[in-house]
Structure 1
Amino acid sequence: MTGILTSAEDFERARAWRLTDAADWDAYLLDTAVLLAEARRVFGSVRARMFHPEDFADFCLLHGLDPAEPAARDRYLVNPPLQTQLLPYQDEELVGDFMPRLVRARESGLTLRHADLLLDEGLLGPARSEERGGPRIRQAYEQGAELFRRMLVGAGYGAYEFHCVVDAPGGELHARARILHWEDGVVRLHDEELDLVCAVLCAGLVRELPGAALLHGTQGGAGGCGEYRQVAWAWQSSGYDYAPAAVRMEGVEALPGFSLGSVC
C-alpha cells in the first residue's frame, strides 16, 4: 500500500514533512512511476490512495502525531475509515489516468463514509449484522443496484455519464460514473464508481430522502449503421422510488426518462 501526492501544490506542502527525497515535482512523478512498476513486478498486487496534505495534517493533530515521523505517515495510510479510498494499481499511466482516479476515489470515499454514518455504519461497519437492521440495508442496496441497472439497460449501447444526488442531513450525497455500454451488452465502468452509486441510492432509499438521477451522453454505435444521438434522461425520487422527471443538473437539461418498470 502506498500514498501518492497528486499535484505540484501538494508536493510543495509535503516537503516540510520529508515524505520524499525528490528534488522537484517532475522528479517525484518519475520516482513514483518507478516505485509502482517495481512493486507490481515484485508483489503482483499494489494498492494506493491519494496522500492528501490537509487530511494528513488533521489526522496527525487528532492523534497527537508528528507529521515528520514515518510512523505518522504509516498510521494515516492504514487508517480503517480511509480504506474506501484505496485503488488497485494495474500499470495505468500515472498522470493521465491513475492520479485523477485517486482524486475521485478520495472524494468518493468521503461520500461513502457519509452514507455509512447515515445508515449507522450499516454499509461498512458492524451494523451490517442482522441484529442491527442489516437485511433492510441489504435490500435497499440491491434495489438501488437494480434501479441503476434498469437505467443502463433502457438507455441501450453508447457512452454515458451518470450522476445521482440525494438530499441528506449533513450535506448532499453525490455519485458519478462514466459508462461504456457495448453493443454486445457488456457494460464497462470502474468498480469504485459502481459501489458509490449503489451506496448513495441505498442511503436515500433507507432514509427516505429526496433525490435525483441523470443519465446523459451519446447513444448508438457502429453496429447501428453508425448512428449516434445525444440524449439526457432524468428521474426523481421522493424517498421511495425513482420516477421519470425533467431535471437540470450541472448545466445539463434532461427530459423525463423512460419508465424503469418497463425495463427487464
Structure 2
Amino acid sequence: MAARHARTRPTARTAAPASCPGASRRREELRSRRCAPQDAAAPTLVGIITSREDFEELRRDGGTEYSSFAVYLEEMEQLIGRIREAGGTLKGRAFHPGDLVDFCRQHGLSLADPGSHTAYTADPAADVEWVRYEDEPLDEFLGRLVLARRRGLVHRRLERLLAETAEAAATGVFPEEPLREAYERGAAALRRMLLGAGPGRFRLVCALRPPAEPPVEAWADLLLERTGAEDGGAVLRIEDADLDLFCSLLCTGYALGLTGGALLSGMCEERGSVAWGWGFDGGAEGGGFTPRNAADVLLDLSLPAASWIAVCLPGAAAAPGFPLDEIALD
C-alpha cells in the first residue's frame, strides 16, 4: 500500500544561507559531509507523520491511502526494518500537513501533486529537521522528529526576520560582522545566566517579540553538573541543537534590537526550587537582559511555552533574575 507523503531519495541538497555564526558552522559541517568521499551508501530520507491528528488531517485531504494511523505506523516500522536489515541508514523528518500547505503556497506547487509532497519532504531549507535513526523504539524516534521540526520552524523564522531587514536588502543576507558581534553577545549572556544559576536541573525559555508578530520562542531542558574542581565549576548538559537554537535566537534579538524575555526554572542544588525571570532589550541603547519577575515573564509567553515550563513552577519562588552583568566570565 503506497503512501503519497512518504518518499525516499539520496541526500543531495544545498544548504540555505545561515542566520548566525552558530547556524553557519552547523551548515558548513553538513556541506563538508556531503562533499566528503562516500564510503557507504547515502542515508534514505523518509518523511514520517508523527501524530494521529496530522494523519487524520492528511487522510481527510486524500493525502494518504492508509486506513488508520496504527496501520501506517506498522508499515513505517517494517520499512525501517527492511532498510536496517539491508545494512542501510535512515534519516527521518516530521511530515506536517500545515507545513506542506505553506511550502506549496510559497513555491507555487499543487497540493494534490505527489511530486509536491516529495519536494516538500526534501526541502533544502529543512536541514536541521532531519534526524538519524539510531535503532530506538519508533515512538522515541517520532518524539525526536517532533523536536527537530519545532527547532526548524524557529530557525526559519529567525532567518526570515534577518533577511527582511534593510541591511540584507542588497544581498538577501544580513552582514556578517554585526551578526557575529550579536552572536557573541547572545552567547555571553546565556553563559552568565547559567553560571549564575549554578548546578541543578532546569528548564529554560527564551522569547523574542517581533513587531506585529507572534513571539519567537525556544525552550529546552538543561542540566548543570558539578565538575568536582576546587573552583566549584559546572558542566552544561544540553542537546547541541537546543544550545545552537538559543544562541541563534539571542543573536537575532541583539542584531535586530528586538524585545523579549527569558525564564529559567527548576531545582537548584543550593537554593532548591527556583524561578528567575529577565526582560530582554537588545536595542542599541539596551544592555540586553535586566531582572524581571518570573511571573510577569510567564504571562508574556505563548500558551505552549508557558504550559511546558509551568511544570517547574509549583513551589518555586517567582523572583526577578540576578543581574547578568555582575556574573564574571573566565
SS of equivalent to 2:158: helix
Does residue 257 in structure 1 map to residue 306 in structure 2?
A: no
Correspondence 1:1-264 to 2 at 5 A: 1-15=45-59, 17=62, 19=64, 22-39=66-83, 42-44=87-89, 46-63=90-107, 65-67=109-111, 69-95=113-139, 97-120=140-163, 132-169=174-211, 170-184=213-227, 185-220=234-269, 229-239=272-282, 240=286, 241-248=288-295, 249=298, 250=306, 252=313, 254-261=318-325, 262-264=327-329
8 Å CA contact 1:214–1:254 kept in 2: the answer is no
TM superposition shift of 1:39: 3.9
8 Å CA contact 1:150–1:263 kept in 2: the answer is yes
Paired amino acid for 1:141: Y
8 Å CA contact 1:247–1:254 kept in 2: the answer is yes
Q: CA RMSD in A?
A: 2.7
SS of equivalent to 1:119: helix
- With structure 2 as the length reference, what TM-score do the two structures score? 0.66
What is aligned with 1:223?
none
Paired amino acid for 1:186: V
SS of equivalent to 1:187: strand
SS of equivalent to 1:43: coil
Give structure 2 stretches of 5+ with no counterpart.
1-44, 166-170, 228-233, 299-305
| Percent of residue pairs identical | 37
8 Å CA contact 2:92–2:132 kept in 1: the answer is yes
For 1:104 and 1:51, the matched residues in 2 are separated by 13
TM superposition shift of 1:127: 5.2
What is aligned with 1:224?
none
8 Å CA contact 1:212–1:235 kept in 2: the answer is yes
8 Å CA contact 1:22–1:31 kept in 2: the answer is no
- With structure 1 as the length reference, what TM-score do the two structures score? 0.81
Q: Deviations over 1:68-125 (max 9, x none)?
A: 5542221011222333332333233332x33233223323322221211221279xxx
8 Å CA contact 1:127–1:133 kept in 2: the answer is no
Larger deviation, residues 51-60 vs 31-40: 31-40
Kindly tell me the number of residue pairs found equivalent between the two proteins: 249
TM superposition shift of 1:53: 1.3
Q: Deviations over 1:10-38 (max 9, x none)?
A: 2233336454x654222322332343355
Larger deviation, residues 146-155 vs 158-167: 146-155
Paired amino acid for 1:144: G
